Structure 1
């Protein structure tokens, strides 16, 4: 039995990963930046409070920066430094596919700091989550029966967040993949029109894809409460998707998990209840 710290343990990936580690018999410290409830420990990446306390005595940790922040390197480097100093045995950090393309990008700076830390490490760079459709993009589906994004007819090898969590849990528990980075994708590349058709079938109501301009998308992001710099960050990475950079399919998930990635049909069936039963205009 090992003790693992999971940052973002209430999030889409972290919650699944924590459950998987506990099911395997490990002790999990779920971090929170708020007042901790039972089973949680306090760790605030923005202020730096609680880092040592959360990591002390841990065998490994899963790292990710909270959404809404673009200075991921500033947030994660103190955790990496503390893990090295406190003798944490293994760090698995979640980045994003394409982060390694620019050495000056904050996520890449965090990756490089991890690689140079001397701690056994893995970096996982997932493609766009399937779960985004019932979280970030849900409002358009509910109010307009549409996926509203500035991405054209580009294909994306969407990945189920449960597969990301399974990979993270496997890498924390195993050493044969140490000190390697993995781009994580699903096993198929779909257009958003094809995604809309699959959701329509699963939800038994028509969902369409509406391609919009970045200028149209910007106020939608801001009205949803995103900080301006993070809204611009999203528009930039959506432009990369539109340019075709998210189409690539890798074999990382099957090579680590010895099974095929979940399909979008699997996701749509399993998360049907995450969508309201009826859409209203």
Structure 2
């Protein structure tokens, strides 16, 4: 009997279930998943605490896509543990400090926890932040010619499912990256080779980029965080590979070519 088939239906709560990682974790878990978001059948809204307990009741594990405000997560975790949750898997990010408050909330929960620290997502090019500029033919970010090993979110989802359903991952922090460090110019060139539609890459100043995010409605703290992470790519701090995918899944991460072949660009 497989691990998943031994899990009772709907016992793993998936927060952010309509997001890039959440919906893929949900699909991989099948009937074991209880997908929750503001638009799911199971309602969950970080800004509405009354939705928390009904969503988590009857579950034993939670895939946590954290809110922008870590204090809110710190309020949710004890409620989840009291409801019977014994395992938490947190989606964090590369570069998060060891005293990151969201990570601290799950590490101090008193139950099994696993933290995932992935690099930037390949799917940002066709599903999120970079998708609209790419469609319009120009992507302007403050990353220079810096290299970064973007990761396919399918790899993140598969790692999350293992951590949620199998033993041996409690108390572990997994640094996750893709297979190869690439520049934005290189990645866009590969997208153009698939689509045949030209996309220009422009390196812009950090203040200009942060201002453009604010103009799109991003809160100041998120605009500043995203800009800082891109500047880290520009300065060469983000080019290194991580081995978390190999450690958990026993295989190499998916490549950018793999992503392109399964993306909306194909």
**TM value normalised by structure 2:** 0.91
Moved over 3 A (4+): none
Secondary structure, aligned partner of 1:124: strand
Q: Match for 1:15 among 15, 23, 34?
A: 23
User: Superposed, which structure 2 residues align to 1:43-82 within 5 Å?
Assistant: 43-66=44-67, 69=68, 71=69, 73-82=70-79
**Deviating more after overlay: 42-51 vs 86-95:** 42-51
Q: Deviations over 1:96-153 (max 9, x none)?
A: 111125x3xxxx112122112111110001100001111211222222x222110111
**Deviating more after overlay: 252-261 vs 167-176:** 252-261
Q: Does 2:156 match 1:151?
A: no
**5+ long unaligned stretches in structure 1:** 275-281
**Deviating more after overlay: 203-212 vs 52-61:** 203-212
User: Superposed, which structure 2 residues align to 1:206-245 within 5 Å?
Assistant: 206-245=198-237
The alpha-carbon deviation at position 223 of structure 1 amounts to 2.8
> Do the aligned partners of 2:194 and 2:265 also contact (CA within 8 Å) in 1?
no
Tell me what 1:259 maps to.
Answer: 251
Tell me what 2:4 maps to.
Answer: none
CA distance in 2, matches of 1:273, 1:97: 26
**TM value normalised by structure 1:** 0.86
Tell me what 1:278 maps to.
Answer: none
Q: Does 2:29 match 1:33?
A: no
CA distance in 1, matches of 2:260, 2:92: 25
CA distance in 1, matches of 2:133, 2:23: 25
Q: Deviations over 1:170-219 (max 9, x none)?
A: 11011112111111100111111111111111112332321111132133
Tell me what 1:95 maps to.
Answer: 92
Tell me what 2:155 maps to.
Answer: 163
> Do the aligned partners of 1:89 and 1:119 also contact (CA within 8 Å) in 2?
yes
Secondary structure, aligned partner of 1:29: strand
> Do the aligned partners of 2:13 and 2:59 also contact (CA within 8 Å) in 1?
yes
**5+ long unaligned stretches in structure 2:** 1-6
CA distance in 1, matches of 2:51, 2:211: 36
Tell me what 1:83 maps to.
Answer: 80
> Do the aligned partners of 1:202 and 1:272 also contact (CA within 8 Å) in 2?
no
> Do the aligned partners of 1:48 and 1:78 also contact (CA within 8 Å) in 2?
no
The alpha-carbon deviation at position 273 of structure 1 amounts to 4.2
> Do the aligned partners of 1:64 and 1:93 also contact (CA within 8 Å) in 2?
yes
